[in-house]
A and B are shown apart, each in its own frame.
Chain A
Amino acid sequence: MLNYDIVIVGGGPAGLAAAVSAKENGVDSILVLERDQELGGILNQCIHNGFGLHTFKEELTGPEYAARYIEQLEEAKIEYKLNTMVIDITEDKTVTAMNRADGLFEIQAKAIILAMGCRERSRGALNIPGYRPAGIYSAGTAQRLVNMEGCLPGREVVILGSGDIGLIMARRMTLEGAKVQVVAELLPYSGGLKRNIVQCLDDFGIPLKLSHTVVDIEGKERVSGVTIAKVDQNRKPIPGTDKHYTCDTLLLSCGLIPENELSTSLGVEISPVTAGPLVNESLETNVEGVFACGNVLHVHDLVDFVSQEAKAAGKHAAAYVRGGARHLLFDGEDIPIVAEGGVRYTVPKTIHPQRMEENHTVRFRVGDVYQNCYVSVYLNQERVIHRKRQVIVPGEMEEVVLKQEELKTFPNLSQITVKIE
């Protein structure tokens, strides 16, 4: 059996930044396990620009952003194994993995960082009627085919879902010579960035139909057309609004879900809202010494925040390795953070006033579009943050910063509430 202080599952931006940070915080024995043939995760297929504005103050493409962190990893001489799939993790932190060269092998770790990212919701989860002909791809699969393998999956395309991947792929397929007929979105608003709507759809005259869904897929061997209809408030198709499109390809861009099979079997508690682990301020799960960061924790739209979060996870994992169960060293309780009034969830879910950072960032998402509102934070019943916002949308992650001084000195603090007012 191999022995490492910290084993990191996943070599995407989260795993990379966590590894570099753990090393900076004094741990030398680190191993990153990545199932793909290269490091970088999903960034390798995101060849568009728009990454790293916060971190590097310049706009990089996905592969360029990944390369900067891969370089840091190499410079820090951190070990990693590619083409290596982690298949099991136990509570005593034995990691079982496999690859061609080593076969099935075990690693004993002192701390583990989960950084497995997320995957796309599949069509099965979407319930579209009809046969299952060829020509239906998730937008991410199409992205990989076009950007990494250099093949175009179809010529006439309909896209369901207007998240950023769908929008980015509408432009990408158009540039590659395909005709993107329409992007249909079930919700009355798009979850994608305004910039992507303008630069990926409007620039190329691709219509976006909000409150629309696919009601029928035609074709037995290969998709030959799809029918789109308008939906009512209950997201049920409205009779008589059907419109037929001839196409050979349907791309589904219907959201991402954190990939937590490993976490679940390890006994990590999962949030029903984010589908990611419930973590404390140190990004530690309910299983001691197991930390999580990046898209496996909650789906991020900006990689910069993934890197920041992962840096924190790496630091806390290193502290755990050096000092053992740190939470035994501090007095006081974990204070729950309650999400209310439009706030769907917060990461972290609990915060310990002694263990937290001086200025601690709490990230959250809202469930609807809010205009001219306030983001408020309450310590018990007392409002301590009340920040005016012109607009808040579900597609963009929000944050509030809690001050340690304030939490430490607040008498009988038992609950923190984050809400939209």
Chain B
Amino acid sequence: METRELTCIGCPMGCQLKVQIDQGQATEIAGNTCKRGEVYAKKEVTNPTRIVTSTVAVEGGSSAVVSVKTNRDIPKDKIFEIIQEIKEIKVQAPVHIGDTIVSNVAGTGADIVATKEVK
């Protein structure tokens, strides 16, 4: 049994949630004002995910970097691995919005795609 404290992100209220975790499952949630807190807490303790945004170096372009994102949310504990992987790469200009820069980044199944045009 483990207890974790979380801040709900459902609204500006930011309820302080206390979650009892047993074998990776939320067994008891306290501190929430509404249902959203419960849903959030369950997801946060069992499978927290995030969209990662960063930049990738560009060669021969109008800008030194191009902004990128994961095309879907990835497990939170993979953030740094993804950042490490995309730090290693350089792409050639031009780059278009939506271009895939890395597929299946850090084995997450998500792709890194460009979010800006670089000529």
Contact = CB atoms under 8 A, between A and B. Distances in A.
Contacts, number: 78
B115 A61 contact: yes
A145 B100 CA distance: 24
Given A197-B14, A390-B33, A61 B9 contact: no
B67 A147 contact: yes
B65 A203 contact: no
Contacts of A390: 11, 13, 33
B32 interface: no
Contacts of A392: 12
Given A61-B115, A64-B115, A175-B54, A194 B14 contact: yes
Contacts of B91: none
Nearest to B50: A199
Interface residues of A, number: 31
Interface in B1-16: 6-14
Contact of B97 (A47, A67, A175): A67
- Interface size of B as a range: 20 to 34
B7, B10, B76, B116: which has the most chain A beta carbons within 10 Å?
B116
Interface in A12-71: 44, 47-49, 59-61, 63-64, 67
Nearest to A168: B53
Contacts of A146: 55
A149 interface: yes
A61 B67 contact: yes
A64 to B, nearest CB: 5
A396 interface: yes
B39 interface: no
Interface of B: 6-14, 33, 50-51, 53-55, 57, 63-65, 67, 69, 76, 79-80, 83, 97, 115-117
Interface of A: 44, 47-49, 59-61, 63-64, 67, 146-150, 175, 193-195, 197-199, 202-203, 371, 390-393, 395-396
| Closest 6 pairs (CB-CB, A-B) | A47-B67, A150-B65, A63-B116, A150-B64, A195-B9, A194-B14
